[in-house]
Amino acid sequence: MKKAISTDKAPAAIGPYSQAIEVGEMIYTSGVIPVNPESGEIPQGVQEQARQVFKNMTALLNAAGSSMESVVKTTVFIKDMNDFGAINEIYAEYFPGIFPARSCVEVARLPKDVLLEVEAIAVKN
């Protein structure tokens, strides 16, 4: 049975989808973008946006009974592959221990014209 996960500590869904879904011991997040959930603002710069994405993802996973340490797979969507190194610096700060498996793709456009979006699959703690 699947269960919708929702928290006001991460940006609300902007369409007909759940922030995350729990199935058994697994958590599947939707794409997380760098919107500050309190102010609705989007930070400037790719590293600041990456930090906001991972703050939002941390809050979402915590609401689901999981954590960044329990992420097994991510998909990173970036607007410009030239930002790959800068995003990696921030990414590494938020994934202690064994890094999750990951795919990274450059895309033409993202919601709200942000510079990156990340989705994750995690195990419940």
Query: Catalytic pick from 104, 110, 119, 124?
Result: 104
Cα–Cα distance between 84 and 38 in angstroms, integer? Answer: 27
Active site residue 104: yes
- List active site positions: 104
